[in-house]
Structure 1
Amino acid sequence: MTVGSNKNPAASQAPIRRPRRRFCPSFLPEERGSKKCRPVKMILWAVLLLSHCRLGPSGAAAESTGLERIGTCGTRCSQGLHCKVRPDYLFPPQCLAATDALNTSSVFHNISLSTVMRCEGRQKCSLHLRMETVLQLAEPIRGLSICTATAGMMVNCQIFSFTRSSRERMSGSQVEVEHDCTTVSPNQRVQVMVKTVPSYCDITWSGTYDAPDCSSGDLRRHVPECITGRLSYDVNPEKRELSVSVSEMLDDHNYHLRLCYKDFICSGAGPNALIKKEEPVKSATLPYSQPLPCLCIEGWSAVMDAPRVQLCPFKDRLEELWFGVAFDPLEETLSWELVCPVPTGVALCQKRGDGVCVDLPQAFRNVTSGKVAFTEVDPHPQLCMKFTVGSQSWTRCPFADDRFQAWDVVVTRERGHEEAKMMSRVRATFSVGQCVKSAGPAACHITNTHTVHAEKNRAVSLNLTGELCNSCVQVRRLGMKYAATVVHCVELCNQSSPPRSVVVRQTSRDMTWVIVPVGVCLSGIIMATLVLHVLLTVYQRRKQKEHGNEKQTDPALDCVVPALQAHPHGGILVPDSPQCGNAEKANLISQ
């Protein structure tokens, strides 16, 4: 016997691999144990996963987008309970006192209200109120009374009576009653009251229910009261036109389009466009003048009291509101009108050299509509208007182009001496202070202050003391509610440079007012001179032509001078012409 003969023969063999057990659907017995069941199992897992995604965490959202459909409305009671429906009395009898056999606190259970939809076509659906009631049936109760009331409508009551045999059979048990024949409108509030029959004073349930509004996509597609059509648009800024297309509009009806300014109501901003129901392409072009944020496209079907849809393509263009700033130079009033209902903060501010606009004191207004005006305003290029909406701000400077600037400071330097003068277009009084520029964009330390009165269109000296080089002048117009405090600084003077004048914008602007009219007058004179010259030239040519015609018809000019003859001695003979009456002899013109 060899060594190792005592070992178990099975231990030396390779381990036996048993086939995996496959789980196949029980409804496919022929596939059990075969590989063909694996694809089926994978498909089942995929279907289960999809159903979980549809009915899982987002199931509520999915159900909320569509209402339950019913074919016909009706009343349904628990199995074994026979119900009959009839209208309730217009003036119901008074309630009765509850008997000892009734437990007033446990008669009604789980009363629920919901909305269902009944459709007769794709766009012919109506909403119905479904009422589900659980009732503890007792011997004194012969039925239910359900009443509904809406604003402006009469109370509608229905009685659901139980047959004697069925209520005797099911007395003491809970029964269910369901009714869904009450029609409601979108976004309608309904008052519901449930009572027993006969009516017992302490056994009553009441509640309020709000029907879904037209914000639901299901209602906008199928309920006529909610079908507004879907709008889409393209903007052509060059032509200032909106190309509007309409889809999902009410079948067999025309459609209206227009532009309007949205406020409490949408007021028209142009003519309406009518899209005929026969047209294959439902589109129209609407011109606009300004892309305001409250300019909206409004569309509605051509039916009575049709719901309307609005779409505002420029709702984010708030900067378009700040272009209506106006200034009256006679009244010295700066005004602006809010054309869209956007709550806006309006303030006057002074723009510094670093671009920051600092608010003037007591110059802030809150505007929700209409016009805002600031009186006694000194028009200066640094005076601006700031608009604030929420956390955003915009600044407009209506005097930046110097059109209305009333005054300026002129600093001249001649023969090493500097002099500051006030140039004003109006009669006004100014506060003038000499200061030294320090750190910061608006820091200027005042050394002395005095008052200067300026006449209209006359230069007046500011009477500043000391050297103006490397110093500043702070000027503010007095007698105005809103005026900018302007600082004019003189650069470091170079004494070695030839004498020159440092003149600010006012001088060049005044010279422009002189040079432009003179240039226009000279141009007119030159043009008039050229026209007169042309006329004289034409006149002279006409006179010469008439004079030449007279010479040809004069008899004294009819003579013909014979050809010049050469003289033998090298001269040219000019013969007498007896025909011309010339008695002189021929003269010899020697070479």
Structure 2
Amino acid sequence: MGSLGSMICLPLVFLALRVLLLVNDSRGQNSCSAEESGVEIFKKDVYANFEYKLQESIFFNLNSSALTTYWALPPNALTISTVSLRDGPSCKLCIRINISVNATGLPKLRGFVVQGLELSENTFHSFRILKKKNTKTRDLWKVTYDCWTVKAGQYISVTLFTAPNYGFSVNKKIYITNRDAKPDFQYQHIAEEKIFEVSVPEGPDVYVRLCYQANICEDLETSNKQKIASSQNASLSYENLLPCLCIEAFYTYRDSKRKKKCPFQEHPGPYVKELLKVSVQEIHHHSNTMTVRYASRCSLVPTVTFCRRQNGKCLTENKISVKKHGREYYLESVDRDHHLCFEFSLLNRTHIKCPDRRDRLWNVEVKIQLYYLRLTISSKIPATFSAAACLQNQQTGQCNLQSLIYNVSTQHQIGSQDLQLSLPRPGIGHCIKVWRSDVRFSHEHLICSFDFSHKHLGLLALVTSLVIFTLIFIIYISCNRIWKIFTAPLWRRTILLVYSPDSAEYKTLICAFADFLHNILGCEVILDLWDMNSVSQIGILPWFYQKREQVSERKGKVMIVWTRRSKTMYEQWRNRQINRIGWKDSTNMFGAAMSCLEKDFEVQLDNDNLEHYAMVYFEGLCEKKDIPKCFRKISRYRLFKDLYRLVSHLQDTTCLSPRCLIKAIAKYLRKKLISSEKRRGLQHHIERCKKELGEDVS
């Protein structure tokens, strides 16, 4: 029995395995994917709730001109969907067409005509389904047509008509999707606006979005997905340009395959700096441990080292290992100071992250005593501090210890504490180094500027007094010499005054002006009114010739004082009308002077004799237009406006040649003139002459 049972069981097992293989093989060959519609059919078929006859692939005449009543089909009269058709061992996609029409009030309705068009290939498909005669009619007509075979990627347009045609139809379109297809798209990067312009070709609607590619493509916080219709564009904005920034596109239906493009993934170098900047978070300190978090959306992992910031650089110490836990990097036994930092390196790019300056927990102040330095260390935490004198190396920046190390510790209590530490006074060029010595890594604070002056106040006061006294003495001597220079006569220039005797008041003005030249400017003035005895003895013409030769020998100046009356008298003299009633020169001083000087004024411009002449006129008594053309070859001065130029003209042979000095002296003389009684008297005469000569001329 045992052998017989074994012999029977073996064929049964073999038969069972054979059945399972056949079932699996049948499933592999005949099962159809139902991803498109969730429905599977086994053959083409048509279903209707009335007896019908079917005609396919025929072009039907849909003329509705004979109809008198038009009736609109509702949109839900036609619905189309995709289903899977099993055709032997394979599956095909096809379109199921459902018709549902309420025929109430339509006694002549016989059936329906359906026309379909594949748009891309321009393939036509149609069928007509009609009710058989003598068939009982119903209010609601239903038809299901299985089915029209199609392919993925086709656009199908289906239109429903009534038979007879009531003039209106229902049209539906459907795109045959391919679950394995990925949408294609193009993009343009506009860097200055931080956006991507994305476009898709003709086809179904597509969703596009920006994401950061790590393990998965994570959404941007500032950018949402956008829906793009066929042949349209979308603008996707971003905030930070990272090397793992990608563009992803997928169809709007569920579980669509996705297509992704990462523009910067092949050349991430230029964008690593931005990645490190936005990924490195703030540094935190806790129990002498410095921690920083690297929260990157990209899968790039940097190298993190510890560095000390010094002279604008961060010096890396490679022997110090920074530990990592998850996304956090930390370093133990380190002081809290903004000079102690982390350096992140990735693809030859670096980013330095330092603590905030407000995180510093201790500070030091220096007070200089007579023989030592007193350091005051203010600490917010219990700690130990060290200090020593050192000599700084200018090349390396290191400060080498030159003395013993002095230590001080705080008490183990909470709150701010002040510690006192005394050190010997350092030598010239030395510094004081202060650091926290209870941790492994601490920034060394250098104090190199010391002011010892307040310990020598007596000597400083004596030196200061001597310097001030010396400066005052030098200033006094200089001012005294300058005062003598300003107040002493600058020259002994001989000046012959020539004028027109307009009136008795004008003669008084001429005398006042001559007195000004003599007393204020220190000139030797020759004036006929001051030498009347000689004039009466030898006559006016010989006297004038004699004085003119004397001025020429002494290299002096002939100064002509001009007024409006001088112009009138000069014209009378030129016309030889000196005996007219208007001629007021009783001694003919003006005529004699013009006769003597006439030969010098009628020569060429390069005659050296013209350098010995100068013309002066007072403001209000004369204008430039009142001066004849022959006298315009010589220098003219309007007083008191051109006082500086007049002084410079009279000074041209002295040793005081610098222009700035002459200008300063002229300003001083002008100031002295304004403040003097002679000026006030001279101004008084000028005002009276203005009034008198003005009335006379008018």
- State the TM-score bracket (shorter-chain normalisation): 0.3 to 0.5
Normalized against structure 1, the TM-score is what?
0.40
Normalized against structure 2, the TM-score is what?
0.34
- Which structure is higher in helix share? 2
- Which structure is higher in strand share? 1
- Higher-Rg member (1/2): 2
